[in-house]
Structure 1
Amino acid sequence: MSGAVQRVAILGAESSGKSTLAEALAAHYGSVWVPEYLREFVDTHARVPFESDQYPIARTQRAREDAAAARATRFLFCDTTPLMTALYSRQYWGRVDPQLARLDGSHDYAFTFVTAPDGPWEPDGLQRESEEVRQKVHRMLVQTLDARAIPYVLLAGSLPERLRQVEALLGAA
């Protein structure tokens, strides 16, 4: 596996620092990151997704990962994965589309990091709901990872503290 790019999943509830961390890690390791497609979707469509949008959003996210892997060196930092899309489907519609469930089930990342919701919650237009939803989604995420026996590391504190936690696991740049 020497030389192969390892995908790093960065998961977390809304306003927990996923994008900031993914971008900082890519810069630190001289690699690339895959921004969360949902943000672009909301900006482009000027609305939150409908239930029928969930699978296409997750599929686009994964396709962008695949495309970015060719440009990555050592690590590819993924700002969210289909797992988060599925969690939000459960949160808002009480179910997950079977196609999304299959995509969500293929969580094949070398490392999974969860950003703790320990910073201030900040509204972000259409995309963010509330501190209560952020905490609930965080609990759902941790329960899902535990139930699936997906190893993860919870990252807490400031950005520099989170970067040090990741570097301790991934090694020096």
Structure 2
Amino acid sequence: MKIGIVGAECSGKSTLSHALHTALQPRYGSVELIPEYLRTWSAQHGRPPQAHEQSHVADTQAARIAQARAACVVADTTPLVTAVYSDMLFQDNSLYAAAIALQRSLDVTLLACLDLPWVADGIQRDGVAMQRRVDARLREVLLAQRLPFATVYGLGSLRLQAALQAITHADARQRAQLPSTAGPAWVWVCDTCSDADCEHRLFSRLTPTTSVRV
């Protein structure tokens, strides 16, 4: 089982990936967490990567995901996120083909949504406006490429439970040998399925509003 978490900056990807790493161990026994290489790279260099360095970040993340051999692999972001940022920041769309191919090979794609408080970290974060643009572009690419994905909302344990439900559905689908086009249980498709505000209003009515730092 290979799980890829995608999402804009400050959408809780790292927190969710660590929570899944712990929560899935009783189910799979062997669980490997693939950290976000971009974070490591930025910390080492004291800055985000420039245009000519984006492919290295994407390729390294892809290689680490591909090389993982645990029964369950949780990837804290995938090359698709790097491809989107490279496109939006540097007008470079050359990373999409490889990123989409890797994304298609995963068993579960979780899209971390924008219902968490914004927290700047001084190195990678570009601001709320860019966050919303990246979220919209990720949805556009996932839908255009017909890549099944589950949107993950909620604070604290609610977010983890939403992710676990999507993974359970994908696991059951695998065991039943159903075609991947069946899609995860949490995909909601309507005429405005790329409208994050519409989706956020729906999930806000379904989840408590208590703020939990994640």
Structure 1-normalised TM-score? 0.89
Query: Which structure has the higher relative contact order (CA within 8 Å, separation 6+)?
Result: 1
CA RMSD of aligned residues (A): 1.4
Cα distance in 2, alignment partners of residues 41 and 96 from structure 1: 21
Specify the alignment match of 1:103 in structure 2.
98
Offset of residue 159 of structure 1: 2.7
Whose Rg is larger? 2
Cα distance in 1, alignment partners of residues 135 and 23 from structure 2: 26
Specify the alignment match of 2:17 in structure 1.
22
1:132 pairs with 2:129 = yes
Cα distance in 1, alignment partners of residues 96 and 62 from structure 2: 13
Counterpart of 1:143 in structure 2: which amino acid?
E
Counterpart of 2:123 in structure 1: which amino acid?
L
What stretches of structure 1 move > 6 A for 4+ residues in a row?
A: none
The gaps in structure 1 that reach 5 residues or longer are 1-5
Equivalent residue for 1:115, pick from 100, 112, 116 = 112
- The C-alpha deviation readout for 1:48-79, integer Å capped at 9, x for no partner, is 11111111111111112133x22x23x21111
Structure 2-normalised TM-score? 0.72
1:10 pairs with 2:9 = no
Specify the alignment match of 1:93 in structure 2.
90
Cα distance in 2, alignment partners of residues 49 and 131 from structure 1: 20
Cα distance in 2, alignment partners of residues 35 and 116 from structure 1: 19
Cα distance in 2, alignment partners of residues 101 and 79 from structure 1: 18
The gaps in structure 2 that reach 5 residues or longer are 26-30, 170-214
Aligned residues: 162
**Contact preservation (8 Å) 2:150, 2:166:** no
